[in-house]
Amino acid sequence: MRRRPHVTSIPALEGHQAPRRRAAAVGPDLSLLWMFLAGALLMALASSAHGQTAGQTPEFRGEVTVNEVLLDALVTDREGHVILGLGPDDFSVREGNRPVELTGVTFYSNRRYLGESGAAALGIDPDAVPDRRYFILFFDDQRHNSLDARGLLQRQMSAARDAESWIREELAPGDRVAVASFDFKLKLHADFTADRDALVAAVRAAAKGDEGRADWPSRRSDDDVGSLAGTLPTGKALRKATPTIYEALQTLAKAAAPIQGRKNLVLFSIGFGDVNSLGQYVRDTRYHRPTMEALNAANVAVYSVDLADAGTRHPFSDALSEIALATGGRFFQNVVNFATPLDQVSKTTNGYYLLSYRAEHPAGAEGFQEVEVEARNPEFRVTARSGYRYGDAAP
């Protein structure tokens, strides 16, 4: 129980003291004066702050980190033809609601278009255009699913045969291809190379479920275009790092990240994820977002090809559609001939733009920044990845 304070009685004032007390009562009250001055000061500060807000932006004194962002963008007309001759003013790029200013635009092409009169009219010098394209053929091995779905393994072998034909007949001189697979771990069968014979052998090994060989240090690529094997873990470390297809894709993306430019990953699979009690596809929340962010951060566009028979409906196809849409690729389903999606991927990636700009983020911060890329000409269609990682989360 809280005690009341002790009160001491005050004796009555003597008669000669009374006038002095009355004089004090009618004089200026210092407490009121101080209240008046404090109020005036607060009003002045509020007015100053209002004027600063209305007239100028307060100086930001926190530390920021400035990074160069590289975004690849495919630009086509409504018929799918690559648009040539675009510059920074032809694109609109936004981070959230904030527009960003491009510092550079570089056109990459296999140069199949650059001998045309249209390219010459636009002032494009074929010798100045980088002609490198990167493809990763990725087989999600279906041997463990073939008992549940008859014909699935045969479809995988058919996809491999069509991939072999595509390698022998469709590769351009500047193209580099790698071959990987997944069963219960990631396997790298061929690093980026233009050697058609080596690639055909790698595709056959991947389709048959053979053990990867390019993860051995002695088999690492010595090509100057970059290497996956040079960055990937090896042996038991690779098995431990990639027990799921999600982690296999993440690991492969991180290995590809140092290689500048767009990497086109052709994924042969029937999909992945979970199914609820109604038979509907459900994302695996443990892996979905990290996988999409890793692929986007590394400029890896996924072109997913459904291995299920044409006309077959199954919930896991939603996963294939999602990963393609999120990374700026495309989903192919109801495939009769696997040469068709391979030809479409090759055609779509005949030319693309690499956009660059500077982005600022608070020092020490990390995360995933969403980005929207559009062409200022409404007749053009743009396909681009959805964002990038920054800070310690960057690859």
pLDDT tens by residue, 38-66: 555 555 555 554 544 444 544 545 688 88
Cα dihedral 114, 117, 121, 124 in deg (nearest 10): 10
Phi, psi of 128 (to 5 degrees): -95, -5
pLDDT digits (tens, 9 = 90+) for 220-237: 554 566 899 989 999 999
The DSSP element (H or E) to which 178 belongs, if any, is: strand 175-182
Q: How far apart are CA 312 and CA 333, in angstroms?
A: 9
Query: How far from chain centre, in Å, is Cα 61?
Result: 30
Token match 């956009």: residue? Answer: 355
Given CA atoms 197, 204, 342, 162 in this order, what sign does their dihedral have? Answer: positive
For residue 277, pLDDT beyond 70: yes
**Res 202: pLDDT:** 97
Phi, psi of 388 (to 5 degrees): -150, 160
Q: What angle do the packed helices 245-256 and 288-297 form, to 10 degrees?
A: 20
Model confidence, pTM: 0.75
CA gyration radius for the chain? Answer: 33
**Mind listing the pLDDT tens digit for each residue in 149-180?**
668 889 999 999 999 999 999 998 889 999 99
Residue pair 157/151 in contact (Cβ under 8 Å)? The answer is no
- Kindly report the number of other CB atoms within 10 A of residue 317's CB atom: 20
User: What 3-state class would DSSP assign to 102?
Assistant: coil
Token pair recorded at residue 128: 């100045």
User: Residue 338: its pLDDT value, please?
Assistant: 96
Domains and CATH numbers, the chain: 128-349 (3.40.50.410)
